[in-house]
Structure 1
Amino acid sequence: MNPEEPTPNPVPNLPVPGTAPASAGTQTVEAPGSAVPEDALRQEYQQLIDEVRKHRAAYYLEDAPLVSDAEFDLLYSRLELIEAQHPAIVANDSPTQEVGGEVSAAFSPVEHLSRMYSLEDVFSLEEVTAWGRKTEANAALRAAGHELKWLCEVKIDGLAVNLLYRHGKLVRAATRGDGATGEDVTHNVLTIKVIPTQLAGEDWPEEVEVRGEIFIPSADFTSYNEALIEAGKAPLANPRNAAAGSLRQKDPAETAKRPLKMFVHGFGVRQGLEAKTQSETYGLMESWGLPVSPYSRVVGTLDEVLSFIKDNGEHRHDLLHEIDGIVVKADSFEIQRNLGFTSRVPRWAVAYKYPPEEVNTVLRDIQVQVGRTGRVTPFGIMDPVLVAGSTVNRATLHNQDVVKAKGVMIGDTVILRKAGDVIPEIVGPVMALRAGNEENLHEFIMPTHCPSCGEPLAPAKEGDVDIRCNNARSCPIQLTERVAHLGGRGAFDIEALGYEAAQALTIGHGPDPEQNHGVITPAGPGTLRNESQVFDLAAGNPDATLRQALAEVKVWREIRSKGSGTGKFALVPYFYSKATAKKESGPTKTTLKLFDELEKAKTKDLWRVLVALSIRHVGPTASRALANRYGSMVAIIEAIGAAGAREALAEIDGVGAIIADALIEWFQIDWHQEIIAAWSAAGVRMQDEQDESILKHLAGMSIVVTGTLPTYSRDAAKEAIIIRGGKAAGSVSKNTSYLVAGEAAGSKLDKAVALGVPVLDEEGFDLLLASGPESVEGRPNPGA
């Protein structure tokens, strides 16, 4: 939520979360001089003050927010709007007149030597530009002839702290609190290993306040939660609340168990410190042994500021920690002094906040879906909500153990997270909202039989957490999932074969959606009995019988009137056009495209064929490794059937023991081999053309590609590495041979430089691929 920095520009007509819409009786804010009754306006204003205070207390004192960041921002913006339009009613104790945050009675209060201010929040690039232009136009700056440069930093989603050092020794640590007074958390901070208790060097001031942010790195947070779930405990909701809760543990030994880190980003009191810019102080801090963020940049124009915001927004999940925005500051201390402060915020800094990736919504039901390998996964059905730029009403819950560990119940208000392109996930319930709602909550019970075919569900083998429908050959929904998968980008990459088309091909229409929402039991008819028939639809197939059968496939479509849905549904043809008095029914353009794309898919590389077979655990990496080693499906089958097959397969880089077992198991099943035989008979190429000119000069090397390369897609770069015998790794380590860094390379580049890993740009990558390691020796390091 970050109400520490809560000053967005007024936004009109914002709804107040948790209240009824205006049509139901809630008063709305109107322009000055409007006819809004004074009593009603004051009542709404006081209600907003109470709501903001309640949510601040929950956020700061209990580390258990009742609303999402986005909902809090709406509340706060509404409050600001009322005050801007009706200044006569502004209360002296309004939350807008305070820095933000509260001080818990559970910890000793600490007065900061200098005030810890909030930052003004903005929510659009237009607001960033307007703020920047206003700052550039400041008369005092023009008169003094100052050169204005911007310091851009990522805004860590953590907990702000103030470290007081005297004679280089850490004597006190405190939370921000209300800006003037914070909570003494010294004993807990002393357990965080990256924070020095004694500064290095000898150029530090006699007394200095160091400001920074306590956080939990994303990878550590994931590992910590996995350990909690494995132990049968409830996982932590998010890194920010986890960091705040960790720092407020009564027992420092408990704090020490949490993977806390810190980055410093400024000073309070700094007696005798001689530095002209804030960016210069970061070098000083680093020389004193303080942890400084690698994610900052000084730029000279607002266009560069906007580029920094855009780049980090696209790669925000590649960083070491969670961020919720970008902080932009005037870098010069003299300019900062000239611009000064308001009562709450500095005029020389602003915080741009990215669209929220966590929101709250109501969990209406928990159902299960069956995947292409039979795995049964619970998922939540929720009130639709906008998160990370898209409207979401479904989210994964992984398996029954995760549902239990997270403690979610049907009817809960839950925290929903969607990070970038990651599948939406229910983080957990908002526990504080359960009180008084217990009678509306229901526990989820995992089904015992497949919702698609009715067969019993069970683990594939003893000890498995996941349960599966083991009726792989005949389960309708598994067939749908496998057909959709073979058309996906990682397999044959058939644009016209998405999930809806796969569903129409396999199960046709389901029950009437007006009567059976969410039911996946098919009512047919579909066309394909199994995926071995897929290429019978290809344009080059001489037998058109199956293609003609598509004319009978129908699906439910919502009836629309004047461009809007009516809520009524009708069965309509999916693959063929509807016959009219003037025109006979025939394949649609999309259907003809499907036929053509299936024909083209027959010539795809062997690794794509392997991915398309839906062998458990066998994805693009393992498939490329197998295709590179054996070159043909015949050779792979022979290797799997040979003595010592498991050991031989497991030794292949990118395969390993688990995938070796999965391969052997899959190829032992008769109907699986029938699929390969049918595809081969239909003309699918089962052997790669060997290019003898490609040398294996990257054998034994681990190469990481990060950022955006102008002439290589990520998959193309990996393919180029693998066919030359190298390993296309996903993370940087001391064993990495080279890092190939494109635009916006991010944290992997930082780590490579720190470890001394050679870094190549695209030109260097081309040389490496063409001529081997000798060709790039002595090249300048782009990351240096």
Structure 2
Amino acid sequence: MPTPSAKQRILELRELIRYHNYRYYVLDDPEISDAEYDRLMEELRRLEEAHPELITPDSPTQTVGSSILETPFTPLPHPTRMYSLANAFSREDLADFEASIARMLGREGPFEYALEYKIDGLSINLVYEGGVLVRGLTRGDGVVGEEVTPNLLSIPDIPRKLPEPLDLEVRGEVYLPIETFLRLNAELEEAGEAPFKNPRNAAAGSLRQKDPKVSARRGLRGLFYGVGRHEGLAVRTQLELLGRLGELGFSVEPHHRRALGVEGVEEGYRAMLEHRRSLPFEADGVTVKLNDLSLWEELGYTAKTPRFAIAYKFPAEEKPTRVLRVVFQVGRTGRVTPVAELEPVLLDGSTVSRVTLHNESYVQELGLRVGDTVLVHKAGGVIPEVLRVLTEASRGEHPVEWPSHCPECGSGLVLSGKIHLCPNPLCPAKAFEAIRHFASRRAMDIQGLGEKLIEQLLEAGLVRDAADLYQLKKEDLVGLERMGERSAQNLLEQIEASKGRGLERLLYALGIPQVGESTARALARRFGHLDRILEASVEELDAVPDIAEATAQAIHQALAQPQMRRFVERLRAAGVNFEAKEKPQSRALEGLTFVLTGELSRPREEVARLLEAHGAKVAGSVSRKTHYVVAGPGAGSKLARAQELGVPVLDEEGLKALLQERVGVEAW
């Protein structure tokens, strides 16, 4: 009979794991590391093995992932079920795995295995009919997933059409490359938004965007390793299958290998662990699969996992260390970020002595004090992160004190949402990054003004901020390192050309908190001139599509700063153009939301720009707030969703008629 304590612990673990499944699979916002989650699952699995009479069908050990709750995506069943892998953490676990195979097959090993990196991404299922991709689903609970086909089509590793007319389900992982993850998090932090916790979290959040254009910009990639339904795909082994998927146009991770028995798996695992840090993606283990596919059918599945495969997890390095002090650094936009200085600790091959604490609310959630002992790891295997305060260890005595003034220039800090900002555009800490951003390709695009040259200009006292660039003369530049007469002239011509880039780029170049490229374009389209934005109220800014009230307040507050007003006037005096290049032609469609789907006679981007030029909003998914769906030949799930919700559907002729009625015949 189970003891009351064992039964109680099983119930506690199930409730806790279900909660973390919800955070991980549904919200894409995990609260604990993968290693901590694995420990909870392993404890539950061992308790249930010891007390099999307590196992229930809804236990997390018997189910996959988390149920699909209310989301913007349509839940659809998988043609064949998707499973998750059981975990191995040691050589003993591997030996038990091979022994169970031998027992079920009635013959002795060693067996031949295929080893592959276990990519830490988001599992997907691609359904092809006659060689054509008809839909793509997230794993969901293994039986039902979310249809995210438009978002998946933005990933270059996913073929829309196969070279052969096959009926297939292809399984793989969507992931965010580590370099892309680091860049995305830096952009989010500078914009005052919460960074993603790890590359898997970032991949899930990027794939499950309502607007496929956002997914496309995130730089997602895919790797593929398996099939569900696979009529006509004649392969005998897992390694043959990987080769066949490559022939069909799918990206396949190249470091797979053959292994014989537990000894061979252990040897391959050690080699792959050694190579792990050179991968462009995050891998959290090695998948160990019987290579002979005929044995898969013979062994079958449990309620949750295949009996022919297991995931041999990489060890997660999490180490305790002490917080010596908390300092504050100032970023390009003036964002003040707390950084914990730690007693140095060796973690995943490098010494960690500093870790960002993101913002004040993050520090409060941790309950962190100076002198605390904390548990640290590398998020995504890359970024040092504090997991939690070890309250069972000795606690620090001093709370983290947030400065009221900028630690670099002394200006009073302002609060925007959860972030503290230095409003002074001349703050020394901001100068280099502010000028580099102002001159960057997507901002004012001043070619030839690289980082080393910016450093020289600042050190020589030739510029204090970006407005000073427009006062530079050839004699100022000639004589700087690698700057001759011709180079100086070319740079001055680039600076002069930047004056005409238009309001869209200028707004982005100013480095206003929470104003990225899309927000800058939306503001430029609505107001047409910088002066009108400077005069706009919070309510008028909030009325711009896709600008929330908090963002409107942050923009209004930043532009009202005296230092920003003086900076803008210096740009005006230098002759910088404050007018939008993409001026709004009318507001005839203001308040209307359109969704475009299927093939149109003109590129959809062009049609979207036309609609936006007359005040409309173009969204990526259909909801009850959609006013019209414009559907061409080949329209799929969006058309079905519109019909389900009763949203009016226009063909191209219907759109032309609407434009003629609202805007005038010349619009098309």
For Structure 1 versus Structure 2, the TM-score category normalised by the shorter chain is: 0.5 to 0.7
1:326 has 2:247 as partner: no
Alignment of 1:226-305 (within 5 A): 226-305=186-265
1:179 has 2:117 as partner: no
1:647 pairs with 482, 490, 510, which one?
A: 482
CA distances 1:595-622 after superposition (whole Å, capped 9, x unpaired): xxxxxxxxxxxxxxxxxxxxxx9xxxxx
User: Counterpart of 1:170 in 2: which secondary structure?
Assistant: strand
Alignment of 1:338-487 (within 5 A): 338-357=298-317, 367-368=326-327, 379-380=339-340, 395-397=354-356, 403-404=358-359, 408-412=362-366, 416-418=376-378, 425-426=384-385, 443=402, 448=407, 463-464=431-432
CA distance change for structure 1 residues 239 and 461 in 2, over 3 Å: closer, same or farther? Answer: closer
> Is the Cα–Cα contact under 8 Å of residues 356 and 387 in structure 1 kept in the other structure?
no
User: Counterpart of 2:41 in 1: which secondary structure?
Assistant: helix
Offset, 1:349: 0.6
> Is the Cα–Cα contact under 8 Å of residues 25 and 65 in structure 2 kept in the other structure?
no
In 2, the alpha carbon distance for the partners of 1:449 and 1:166 equals: 61
Alignment of 1:600-679 (within 5 A): 646-647=481-482
CA distance change for structure 1 residues 155 and 420 in 2, over 3 Å: closer, same or farther? Answer: closer
In 2, the alpha carbon distance for the partners of 1:461 and 1:381 equals: 19
**For residue 282 of structure 2, what is the amino acid of its counterpart?**
E
**For residue 378 of structure 2, what is the amino acid of its counterpart?**
K
1:312 pairs with 272, 282, 288, which one?
A: 272
Offset, 1:276: 0.7
Offset, 1:134: 4.3
Equivalence for 1:715 = none
In 2, the alpha carbon distance for the partners of 1:273 and 1:224 equals: 39
Identical counterparts, % of pairs: 37
Offset, 1:185: 1.4
Equivalence for 1:167 = 130
CA distances 1:482-531 after superposition (whole Å, capped 9, x unpaired): xxxxxxxxxxxxxxxxxxxxxxxxxxxxxxxxxxxxxxxxxxxxxxxxxx
CA distances 1:610-643 after superposition (whole Å, capped 9, x unpaired): xxxxxxx9xxxxxxxxxxxxxxxxxxxxxxxxx9
Alignment TM-score, normalising by the size of structure 2: 0.53
> Is the Cα–Cα contact under 8 Å of residues 149 and 332 in structure 1 kept in the other structure?
yes
In 2, the alpha carbon distance for the partners of 1:68 and 1:420 equals: 10
> Is the Cα–Cα contact under 8 Å of residues 221 and 259 in structure 1 kept in the other structure?
no
In 1, the alpha carbon distance for the partners of 2:347 and 2:30 equals: 17
User: Counterpart of 1:164 in 2: which secondary structure?
Assistant: strand
**For residue 425 of structure 1, what is the amino acid of its counterpart?**
P
In 2, the alpha carbon distance for the partners of 1:386 and 1:97 equals: 38
In 2, the alpha carbon distance for the partners of 1:219 and 1:411 equals: 28
> Is the Cα–Cα contact under 8 Å of residues 163 and 173 in structure 1 kept in the other structure?
yes
Structure 2, unaligned stretches of length 5 or more?
330-335, 369-374, 390-398, 410-425, 435-451, 453-477, 485-668
Alignment of 1:124-203 (within 5 A): 124-136=90-102, 139-141=105-107, 148-199=111-162, 201-202=163-164
Offset, 1:171: 0.6
CA distance change for structure 1 residues 282 and 96 in 2, over 3 Å: closer, same or farther? Answer: same
Equivalence for 1:58 = 23
1:80 pairs with 37, 41, 45, which one?
A: 45
Equivalence for 1:488 = none
In 2, the alpha carbon distance for the partners of 1:284 and 1:219 equals: 29
> Is the Cα–Cα contact under 8 Å of residues 112 and 182 in structure 1 kept in the other structure?
yes
User: Counterpart of 2:363 in 1: which secondary structure?
Assistant: coil
User: Counterpart of 1:275 in 2: which secondary structure?
Assistant: coil
> Is the Cα–Cα contact under 8 Å of residues 362 and 411 in structure 1 kept in the other structure?
no
In 2, the alpha carbon distance for the partners of 1:461 and 1:99 equals: 49
1:110 has 2:110 as partner: no
CA distances 1:221-259 after superposition (whole Å, capped 9, x unpaired): 122223333444433221100111112112222212211
User: Counterpart of 1:291 in 2: which secondary structure?
Assistant: coil
CA distances 1:450-501 after superposition (whole Å, capped 9, x unpaired): 9xxxxxxx987871469xxxxxxxxxxxxxxxxxxxxxxxxxxxxxxxxxxx
**For residue 412 of structure 1, what is the amino acid of its counterpart?**
L
Offset, 1:91: 2.6
Offset, 1:338: 2.1
CA distance change for structure 1 residues 153 and 286 in 2, over 3 Å: closer, same or farther? Answer: same
Structure 1, unaligned stretches of length 5 or more?
1-32, 371-375, 431-439, 451-457, 467-616, 618-642, 650-784
In 2, the alpha carbon distance for the partners of 1:321 and 1:70 equals: 18
Offset, 1:309: 1.3
In 2, the alpha carbon distance for the partners of 1:236 and 1:421 equals: 13
User: Counterpart of 1:329 in 2: which secondary structure?
Assistant: strand
> Is the Cα–Cα contact under 8 Å of residues 365 and 382 in structure 1 kept in the other structure?
yes
CA distance change for structure 1 residues 44 and 149 in 2, over 3 Å: closer, same or farther? Answer: closer
CA distances 1:79-138 after superposition (whole Å, capped 9, x unpaired): 222222222222332111212333232132211111111111011233224423543565
CA distance change for structure 1 residues 176 and 386 in 2, over 3 Å: closer, same or farther? Answer: farther
CA distances 1:728-748 after superposition (whole Å, capped 9, x unpaired): xxxxxxxxxxxxxxxxxxxxx
User: Counterpart of 2:135 in 1: which secondary structure?
Assistant: strand
1:219 has 2:219 as partner: no
Larger Rg: 1
Offset, 1:444: 6.2
Structure number with greater CO (CA < 8 Å, separation at least 6) is 2
In 1, the alpha carbon distance for the partners of 2:384 and 2:113 equals: 36
> Is the Cα–Cα contact under 8 Å of residues 388 and 419 in structure 1 kept in the other structure?
no
In 1, the alpha carbon distance for the partners of 2:206 and 2:482 equals: 45
> Is the Cα–Cα contact under 8 Å of residues 128 and 169 in structure 2 kept in the other structure?
yes
**For residue 463 of structure 1, what is the amino acid of its counterpart?**
A
CA distance change for structure 1 residues 105 and 421 in 2, over 3 Å: closer, same or farther? Answer: closer
In 2, the alpha carbon distance for the partners of 1:369 and 1:177 equals: 41
> Is the Cα–Cα contact under 8 Å of residues 115 and 265 in structure 2 kept in the other structure?
yes
In 2, the alpha carbon distance for the partners of 1:257 and 1:237 equals: 19
CA distances 1:695-739 after superposition (whole Å, capped 9, x unpaired): xxxxxxxxxxxxxxxxxxxxxxxxxxxxxxxxxxxxxxxxxxxxx
Note the aligned Cα RMSD (angstroms): 4.1
In 2, the alpha carbon distance for the partners of 1:100 and 1:130 equals: 25
Alignment TM-score, normalising by the size of structure 1: 0.46
CA distances 1:403-459 after superposition (whole Å, capped 9, x unpaired): 45x96325527994327997x6237999xxxxxxxxx98646788499xxxxxxx98
Equivalence for 2:86 = 120
User: Counterpart of 1:95 in 2: which secondary structure?
Assistant: coil
User: Counterpart of 1:409 in 2: which secondary structure?
Assistant: helix
> Is the Cα–Cα contact under 8 Å of residues 153 and 326 in structure 1 kept in the other structure?
yes
Equivalence for 1:7 = none
CA distances 1:269-309 after superposition (whole Å, capped 9, x unpaired): 11132111121122221121111111211233433321221
User: Counterpart of 2:7 in 1: which secondary structure?
Assistant: helix
User: Counterpart of 2:61 in 1: which secondary structure?
Assistant: helix
Equivalence for 1:664 = none
